[in-house]
């Protein structure tokens, strides 16, 4: 645990020190759970967004994009169920005055029991060595089965109580399990209350005519209300998808895991409209496709797992999360939801307009079913950044901090370094920058000894360093150093573009899908 916390602290300080993420309005002591992306962060974020957009829109003939507004007619949120049901159950600790999500307190309690299971597994693996069969152990070991049953009973009861809006029972559960305030250990709790997560705002200047609006809590509804516009103007045939990236806002109660849970964040969503009855097939397809997208970035298959939902949201007939191993454990990174015809039907009812598709093959109208893929861009950023940040012991006994970002996502692809600031070397280096900048984000760095510059670029995540030295003056060759292997090669200046392209080209990465 301590190791995880240490790693997380390193992630936070590295993100600030190397210009990736700053606290919002830091000079005023910041705003809780709101962050700004800095000069490198904005590039990494853009590259992740582009990587998603290319995979989803450019690579699919039947998926198109839109960019809907953050402000929408308020009835949208009545129809979608957000006004009535977008609530989190919250509980306050009377002694510490801290506020928590009641369901998260119970889930964290269960995560601790899960930790005990993992410990048993580790112990047994050590005892049995090569003969150890994890599946069999999990299915037969008495202690593990006992733990698992306890988790199932607790989560089962929590799920039921939430579904029945029985908040008194959620409090009773917290008390029975003797869950204490994680910060102070106090068990002096208030009742559990529902809290709507939408931010309200007003449209219009005068107090009596102003209209109450919400900042959108998800981007999906902008797609649903435009479904027919896009289908008709784009002459789209089912099955087809509409994709969108953009800001969403949630007044999160517990928001203290850096950019994992923010109050203002960005989503990348795609709604795929299908014929009723085919949704299960498409749900499976999209689960698989999305996981492949993640795996194409080469961050390790062990870092991902599916979590199939047992308790479904009011609009879904199947749902799963792709969970990622963040520095604080496995947590949701992306959701894949089979949303039925809930949203389109609800908008039909509330707007009085038909939102149906005429299927020529079937010769009839119907409201399509929807399979959604929804990923948080900021969570993806954290997944990429935290996994890439590594400390390596080198052969000479020193350590180096290196940000091994997938090269396709790295903010700067190459740094051009003149060995010394004289003898015409800076001029050649500048010329290389001017040439390469048409194709890639590159930078120029002449300050400090070249070894220190290499370390700085490693920590910045730059895949290549290109050093111009005195031999360059004679033979037009430079040294190209690879961030991950630290291997150095002598190559002609004219070869640089192809070498870099090979490593950072989206095509070469997406083709791994």
Instruction: Tell me the binding residues for ATP.
Output: 250-252, 260-265, 332-333, 376-379
Minimum CB distance to ligand ATP, residue 310 (Å): 14
Specify the length of the chain in residues: 513
Give the E-state strand segments of 116-239 in sequence order. Answer: 193-196, 200-203, 211-214
Nearer to ligand ATP, 334 or 445 (CB): 334
Q: How far is the CB of 333 from ligand ATP (least distance, A)?
A: 6
DSSP states of 429-488 as a string?
HHHHHHHHTTTS-EEE--SS-HHHHHHHHHHHT-SEEEEE-HHHHHH-EEEEEETTT--E
- Specify the DSSP element, H or E, that contains 266: strand 264-274
Nearer to ligand ATP, 45 or 261 (CB): 261
Mark the binding-site residues for substrate, compressed into ranges. Answer: 101, 218, 265-269, 372-376
| DSSP labels, 344-394 | HHHHHHHH-----EEETTTTEEEPPEEEEEEEEHHHHHHHHHHHHEEEEE-
How, if at all, do strands 63-65 and 240-249 pair?
A: parallel
Give the DSSP per-residue string, 272-303.
Answer: EEE-TT-HHHHHHHHHHHHHHHHHHT-S-GGG
Other beta carbons within 10 angstroms of residue 364's beta carbon come to 10
Nearer to ligand ATP, 219 or 457 (CB): 219
Residue nearest to ligand ATP (CB): 376
Measured in whole angstroms, the distance separating CA 41 from the mean position of its chain's CA atoms is 14
Shortest Cβ distance from residue 478 to ligand ATP (Å)? 41
Q: Which residues bind ligand ATP (CB under 6 A)?
A: 218, 250, 252, 261-262, 265, 267, 332-335, 374-376, 378-379
Q: Which residues are documented as binding site?
A: 101, 218, 250-252, 260-269, 332-333, 372-379
Nearest residue (CB) to ligand ATP, 134 versus 311: 311
The span from the CA of 199 to the CA of 72, in Å, is 13
User: What's the distance, CA 216 to chain centroid?
Assistant: 18
CA distance 513 to 509: 8
Contact 273, 240 (CB under 8 A): yes
Q: How far is the CB of 335 from ligand ATP (least distance, A)?
A: 4
Distances (CA, A) of 273 to 147, 235, 290, 342, 449: 41, 14, 17, 12, 57
Closer residue to ligand ATP, CB minimum distance, 141 or 257: 257
Lookup result for tokens 């089912």 = 238
CA atoms within 13 A on the CB side of 418: 19
CB of 93 to ligand ATP, least distance (A): 21
Q: How far is the CB of 215 from ligand ATP (least distance, A)?
A: 13
What is the smallest separation between the CB atom of 268 and ligand ATP, expressed in angstroms? 9
Nearer to ligand ATP, 261 or 347 (CB): 261
Q: DSSP state, 187? A: -
Q: Please say whether the beta carbons of 203 and 71 come within 8 A.
A: yes
Which CB atom, from 117 or from 262, has the smaller least distance to ligand ATP?
262
Nearer to ligand ATP, 387 or 479 (CB): 387
Of 338 and 374, CB closest to ligand ATP: 374
Q: How far is the CB of 459 from ligand ATP (least distance, A)?
A: 26
Q: Where are the beta strands (DSSP E) in 93-159?
A: 99-101
CB of 294 to ligand ATP, least distance (A): 12
Based on CB atoms, which residue is closest to ligand ATP, 274 or 333? 333
Cα separation values, 182 from 97, 109, 192, 461, 508, Å = 12, 10, 17, 35, 46
Q: How far apart are CA 369 and CA 281, in angstroms?
A: 12
């Amino acid at each position: 645990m301590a190791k995880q916390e240490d790693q997380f602290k390193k992630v936070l300080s590295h993100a600030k020190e190397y210009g990736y993420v700053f606290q919002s309005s830091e000079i005023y002591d910041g705003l809780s759970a709101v962050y700004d992306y800095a000069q490198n962060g904005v590039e990494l974020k853009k590259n992740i967004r582009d990587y998603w957009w290319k995979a989803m829109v450019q690579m699919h003939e039947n998926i198109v994009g839109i960019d809907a507004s953050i402000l929408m007619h308020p009835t949208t949120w009545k129809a979608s169920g957000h006004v009535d049901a977008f609530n989190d159950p919250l509980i306050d600790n009377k002694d510490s005055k801290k506020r928590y999500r009641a369901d998260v307190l119970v889930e964290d309690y269960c995560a601790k029991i899960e930790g005990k299971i993992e410990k048993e597994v580790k112990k047994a693996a050590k005892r049995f060595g090569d003969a150890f069969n994890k599946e069999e152990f999990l299915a037969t070991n008495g202690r593990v089965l006992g733990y698992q049953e306890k988790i199932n009973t607790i989560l089962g009861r929590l799920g039921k109580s939430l579904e029945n809006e029985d908040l008194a029972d959620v409090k009773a559960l917290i008390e029975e399990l003797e869950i204490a305030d994680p910060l102070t250990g106090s068990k002096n709790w208030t009742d559990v209350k529902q809290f709507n997560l939408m931010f309200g705002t007003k449209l219009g200047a005068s107090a009596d005519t102003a209209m109450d609006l919400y900042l959108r809590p998800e981007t999906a509804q902008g797609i649903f209300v435009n479904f027919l516009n896009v289908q008709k103007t784009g002459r789209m045939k089912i099955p087809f998808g509409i994709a969108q990236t953009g800001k969403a806002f949630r007044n999160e109660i517990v928001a203290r895991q850096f950019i994992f849970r923010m109050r203002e964040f960005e989503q990348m969503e795609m709604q795929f409209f299908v014929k009723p009855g085919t949704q299960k097939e498409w749900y499976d397809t999209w689960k698989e496709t999305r996981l492949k997208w993640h795996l194409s970035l080469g961050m390790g298959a062990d870092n991902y797992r599916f979590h199939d939902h047992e308790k479904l949201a009011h609009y879904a007939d199947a749902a799963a999360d792709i969970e990622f191993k963040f520095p604080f454990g496995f947590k949701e990174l992306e959701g894949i939801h089979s949303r039925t015809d809930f949203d389109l039907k609800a908008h039909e009812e509330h707007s009085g307009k038909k939102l149906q598709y005429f299927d020529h093959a079937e010769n009839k109208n119907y409201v399509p079913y929807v399979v959604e893929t929804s990923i948080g861009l900021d969570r993806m950023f954290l997944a990429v950044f935290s996994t890439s940040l590594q400390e390596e012991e080198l052969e000479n006994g020193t350590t180096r901090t290196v940000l091994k970002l997938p090269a396709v996502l790295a903010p700067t692809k190459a740094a051009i370094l003149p060995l010394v600031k004289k003898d015409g070397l800076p001029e050649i280096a500048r010329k290389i920058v001017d040439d390469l900048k048409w194709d890639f984000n590159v930078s120029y760095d002449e300050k400090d000894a070249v070894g220190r510059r290499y370390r700085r670029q490693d920590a910045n995540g730059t895949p290549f360093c290109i050093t111009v030295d005195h031999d360059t003056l004679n033979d037009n060759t430079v040294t190209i150093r690879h961030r991950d292997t630290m291997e150095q090669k002598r190559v002609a200046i004219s070869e640089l573009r192809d070498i870099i392209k090979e490593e950072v080209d989206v095509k070469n990465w997406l083709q791994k899908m």
